[in-house]
A and B are shown apart, each in its own frame.
Chain A
Amino acid sequence: MTVKDIFQTMDYGTAPESAADALAWLVDQGDRFGHFIGGAFTAPGHGFDSRNPATDEVLATLTQATQGDVDDAVAAARRAQPRWEKLGGHGRARHLYALARLVQKHARLFAVLETLDNGKPIREARDIDIPLVQRHFYFHAGLAQLMDSEMPDRQALGVCGQIIPWNFPLLMLAWKVAPALAAGNTVVLKPAEQTSLTALLFADICRQAGLPRGVVNIVTGDGAVGEMIVTHPGIDKIAFTGSTEVGRRIRQATAGSGKALTLELGGKSPYIVFDDADMDSAIEGLVDAIWFNQGQVCCAGSRLLVQEGVADRFHTRLRARMDKLRIGNPLDKSIDIGAMVSPEQLARVRALVDGCEGGLVHRSNATLPDSGCFYPPTLITGLATASPLMQEEIFGPVLVSTTFRTPSEAVELANNTRYGLAASLWSENVNLALDVAPKLAAGVIWVNGTNMFDAAAPFGGMRESGFGREGGWEGLSAYTRARGKPKALARITPFEGKAGDTGPEGIDRTPKLYVGGKQARPDGGYSRTIHGKSGRALGQVPVAGRKDIRNAVEAARGAAGWSATTGHLRAQILYYIAENLSARAPEFAATLDAMQGGKGGKAEVEASIRRLFTYAAWADKYDGRVKGVPLRGVAMAMPAPLGVIAAICPDDAPLLGLVSLMGPAIAMGNRAVLVASEAFPLAATDFYQILDTSDVPGGVVNILTGSHADLAPTLAAHMDVDAVWCFSSTPLSGQIEAASASNLKRTWVNDATARDWLDTKSEGTEFLEQATEIKTIWVPYGE
């Protein structure tokens, strides 16, 4: 084409970024890679090809890690960890700063290599992925620097096993490695087998940065290697980003191992457009939502909800916008959509769309390259919520759409999903936007924007999108634990009755279950006698079963109004509970002493009253944070209640233990289903009378008595329970963690370690963190 021809057509032409330097780096490494263990690359072994999905060319040969390789990597990390942690915050900050600088210096090399390996457009690798990687290391250099002074009670977990996906290879590495290192952990990281090259370049950078040997170890290979990491006994924490299916398996595999776990999984994030939105901007937002990274984004706005009155016009304009997207060679600087990561992924997306029944499918009319893993931007309108494509994650450039009538219907539709990762909403009405945002069941909510990320802003999901946050102080906290060495918890068994005992004197009392604000007989119709230390019968408590759990959870779910109350109101009620408990202190002390023996009852009641005061105090003071993100606007990290928390209370400290769990749960706006101390339940059954007289709305606190071992599996598997806590002396931690995989609810278990409930360490922020989840709400502004 001559200049004159182009003058007529006004085409863009091509603007390819050179791959020469990246290819030269691969050649320098011999086009074959081993693992990076203990600060050096191992000799390349038996392995597999890493291909460019846009051209199907082999870029390099990678090594499939063996159990021996993983053992070596874990051992290297273990050796390096104590010294790395002892370097102190400033020492670690220097290293993280060096990593940030080196990534910056080699920014283009990383970007081009990422595009070659993953197929994403060079614009995205260059302008989004790599700058965010740098930002992450800078930010965490800062967190390392401040950790000693700001988190004096926390220490590193030890060795972290990290498994990352192929959609943002280097960025996910940064999200995992930076906080782990900042907190003093060492890591064994496995990149996705499709996209390991930038991780290996990063290993090279670690060498250049003089990072101590063994602090970062990288092993390559497929899911089998991931499994070796997940089940490795020498690892203290698993951090995983990937599919919900694999996340569920990891939850099961790590159950009872004592490993800390964070999961960042799939999503089907709603993208809500109200009729007063800036329509063109909302359409452009969709380009960044679902046609970013070929739609292979866990938090992609993939479920479009448009207000009915503007839906037709919106869809028409959206189709016109789609037709303008340019799809092709990812190295071309003028390309919007690159290649999907692999032929398998392409085939999966194609099959999902081809199998779609109903709905109107529009594929962008942009020309597709003749070969390579390319799929056109696609919009499917007119789908109903029942359609599988409205529910299932597609993980490709495919947007599904439906309409709504009112803001409350928008919220209902948005939350009608197993997932809860992200959500976007568009409206020019500040009242509407700020009302709807916190109602969305998602860890990240963007108002008039989408896919905004920053190292300072916590990112992560709820429901089957996983748990744990990455970014900010919250993300750092997930790589730490309380200082000190935990003691083992002894099994506490109920006292046996003495033969011939006649039971308590006086008029018979019948403790019941407390469900929905009412006393309830157990569905099974059985009771159990409780004996004191002397063997004297003290009373009989109901034996709760499955149906009682069902009823209690239903009651708790129904008490949703509690979560919408103000902290001030919840504080008043907690104070009132304390007041009423105080009025009956001697009686409770006597019951505690009678059940447990000894004279500790009085102190336990006093401590319970103090603890109720503590949570009354916190109810309106556990503030969120406004994050320092680079944006004209605010990113608010707000602690939101989880919903329904089921807590199996400690057997020791039968009153204080229950209060210590109920307090943070209801102070933060959760509803609680509490299973009382199995050995000493009578304080709990008296306690519901206190709740009854303290204006606690029905269903907010529900109390069951019975066998922990019998009740725990049902609670842990219950789909409508948002979190399970367990401090029972019965060893149930593994069982609970395994069963929680059903809906990937959060768990907090004691792993058979003891806790001194009288100590003030058994109250405060650790408990409040467990009782809340961070919702990060991004609100860019400007008129």
Chain B
Amino acid sequence: MQQTPNPTRNRQLPQTLPASEPRNPGMELDMDWVRAAQANRSAIERRAASLGTRRSVKKDHQAAWLLKAITCIDLTTLAGDDTEGRVRRLCAKARQPVRPDLLAALGMPGITVGAVCVYHEMVPAAVQALAGSGIPVAAVSTGFPAGLSPFHLRLAEIGESVTAGAQEIDIVISRRHVLTGNWQALYDEMRQMRAACGDAHVKAILATGELGSLRNVARASLVCMMAGADFIKTSTGKEVVNATLPVSLVMIRAIRDYHERTGIRIGYKPAGGISKAKDALVYLSLMKEELGTRWMQPDLFRFGASSLLGDIERQLEHHVTGAYSAAWRHPLA
């Protein structure tokens, strides 16, 4: 379904939000702060387990929250068999993520996803397909997903993607720097990657499933923010364990800590494994509870997800019609 551009409608795109957030300039590596970071796994898991039971969002509120979740989705395809045709279809879905009749019934026309996330080779196709929509293209980069290609090539890859039109770059960190406690190396690497991004926003993928402990997640989060990351992101989606609530709690508490000390707001992106509308609601309430409502906007919060949208569409149709929906009633991404 091709969308008719309508310049007068009230768009809900991230870039139309008041640009009040200064970008993270980064800071010197503060090892005292990094080493003091603690993460008690049992306590964190208890808090994570009660998040979904402490808050319940129902009816119109649920519909609004699910629509908000859609605007925070980085609609993603990161497969070896991606083609330009496949990416164009994804981009069309990004422009019109929910059937217009449902959006009309909800009084919310013009909803789009937060961004489209692809490999470098797919950036031009995505940029072209999204032209005029205001939806940014995010490129995974720096030897994604393992991040073990030559460092100068990883930096060069960032530049190539930016040149190709990517406005957001999802870099992967060198897990070995975390696992060996070489925080300075992690900091330096992140610093250079941030510089290579120029005006493009940089999301640092920590690959938390490979960092060994929540304490390491907390410390790596702090180091990446100190080195200038605009977002910190859990996973590539390719690790055995991807986004979880306990990991999210650790990362957003690090974000809160960074904001408390620097006044700078860093964004958060859980990626991989979030496929249910209910999960999206829990993540949104996690952001609200631990960071505040300001962090529930797409400039500070994204879901890295491919199948989440389908479930949200079904829930929205249920909300509008009162009857449970079916997947085939909604256009494929």
Instruction: Give Cα distance in the complex from A281 to B45, angstroms.
Output: 10
When C-beta atoms are compared, the residue in chain A nearest to B41 turns out to be A782
Contact indicator A281/B43 (Cβ below 8 Å): yes
20 contacts between A and B (CB under 8 A): A1-B60, A6-B64, A7-B64, A9-B293, A12-B55, A12-B285, A13-B57, A13-B58, A15-B56, A15-B57, A277-B40, A280-B253, A281-B40, A284-B43, A284-B47, A448-B42, A633-B42, A782-B41, A783-B214, A783-B215
Given known pairs A334-B56, A782-B45, the reply for A278 and B38 (CB within 8 Å) is yes
The answer to whether the Cβ of A350 comes within 8 Å of any Cβ in the partner chain is: no
The answer to whether the Cβ of A623 comes within 8 Å of any Cβ in the partner chain is: no
Q: Could you say which of A278, A284, A632, A780 contacts B39, with CB atoms under 8 Å apart?
A: A278
Given known pairs A1-B60, A7-B108, A284-B47, the reply for A449 and B68 (CB within 8 Å) is no
Contact indicator B41/A783 (Cβ below 8 Å): yes
Given known pairs A7-B64, A11-B61, A281-B47, the reply for A127 and B53 (CB within 8 Å) is yes
Contact indicator A13/B61 (Cβ below 8 Å): yes
* B residues in contact with A282, CB < 8 Å: 43
B267 to chain A, nearest CB (A): 16
* B residues in contact with A334, CB < 8 Å: 54-57
A344 to chain B, nearest CB (A): 29
* B residues in contact with A15, CB < 8 Å: 56-58
B281 to chain A, nearest CB (A): 10
For window 101-154 of chain A, which residues contact chain B by CB distance below 8 Å? Answer: 123, 127
Contact indicator B60/A2 (Cβ below 8 Å): yes
Residues of B at under 8 Å CB distance from A? 12, 38-47, 50, 53-61, 63-65, 67-68, 106-108, 213-215, 253, 256, 260, 284-285, 288-289, 293, 296
Instruction: Give Cα distance in the complex from A4 to B9, angstroms.
Output: 14
**Nearest 7 pairs between A and B by C-beta?**
A13-B61, A281-B43, A6-B64, A780-B42, A15-B56, A333-B56, A278-B40
* A residues in contact with B215, CB < 8 Å: 783
Binary B-proximity of A324-365 (CB < 8 A = 1, otherwise 0): 100000000110100000000000000000000000000000
Contact indicator B42/A123 (Cβ below 8 Å): no
Contact indicator A428/B40 (Cβ below 8 Å): yes
Known: A12-B57, A280-B256, A281-B40. 10 other contacts (CB 8 A): A3-B108, A6-B61, A7-B12, A9-B293, A123-B53, A127-B50, A278-B44, A336-B54, A780-B42, A781-B42
Contact indicator A10/B64 (Cβ below 8 Å): yes
A311 to chain B, nearest CB (A): 15
Instruction: Give Cα distance in the complex from A1 to B46, angstroms.
Output: 34
The answer to whether the Cβ of A377 comes within 8 Å of any Cβ in the partner chain is: no
Residues of A at under 8 Å CB distance from B? 1-7, 9-15, 123, 127, 276-282, 284-285, 288, 317, 324, 333-334, 336, 426, 428, 448-449, 632-633, 780-783
Given known pairs A13-B58, A15-B58, A127-B53, the reply for A448 and B38 (CB within 8 Å) is no
Instruction: Give Cα distance in the complex from A449 to B296, angstroms.
Output: 29
* A residues in contact with B108, CB < 8 Å: 3-4, 7
Contact indicator A3/B54 (Cβ below 8 Å): no
* A residues in contact with B12, CB < 8 Å: 7
A152 to chain B, nearest CB (A): 39
* A residues in contact with B53, CB < 8 Å: 123, 127
Given known pairs A4-B107, A10-B293, A336-B54, the reply for A428 and B67 (CB within 8 Å) is no
Instruction: Give Cα distance in the complex from A3 to B60, angstroms.
Output: 6
Instruction: Give Cα distance in the complex from A692 to B55, angstroms.
Output: 67
Instruction: Give Cα distance in the complex from A10 to B43, angstroms.
Output: 28
* A residues in contact with B55, CB < 8 Å: 12, 333-334
When C-beta atoms are compared, the residue in chain B nearest to A126 turns out to be B53
Given known pairs A280-B253, A324-B289, A783-B213, the reply for A6 and B60 (CB within 8 Å) is yes
Contact indicator A12/B43 (Cβ below 8 Å): no
Contact indicator B38/A428 (Cβ below 8 Å): yes
B248 to chain A, nearest CB (A): 13
B21 to chain A, nearest CB (A): 17
Contact indicator A10/B41 (Cβ below 8 Å): no
When C-beta atoms are compared, the residue in chain B nearest to A5 turns out to be B64
Instruction: Give Cα distance in the complex from A454 to B253, angstroms.
Output: 30
Contact indicator B60/A279 (Cβ below 8 Å): no
A714 to chain B, nearest CB (A): 47
* B residues in contact with A632, CB < 8 Å: 42
* A residues in contact with B42, CB < 8 Å: 448-449, 632-633, 780-782
Instruction: Give Cα distance in the complex from A107 to B38, angstroms.
Output: 38
* A residues in contact with B38, CB < 8 Å: 276-279, 428
B66 to chain A, nearest CB (A): 10
Interface centre among B53, B108, B289, B296 (most CB of A within 10 A): B53
Instruction: Give Cα distance in the complex from A428 to B37, angstroms.
Output: 11
Contact indicator B289/A3 (Cβ below 8 Å): no
When C-beta atoms are compared, the residue in chain A nearest to B296 turns out to be A10
Instruction: Give Cα distance in the complex from A559 to B203, angstroms.
Output: 63
Contact indicator B64/A3 (Cβ below 8 Å): yes
Instruction: Give Cα distance in the complex from A5 to B106, angstroms.
Output: 11
Instruction: Give Cα distance in the complex from A334 to B67, angstroms.
Output: 20
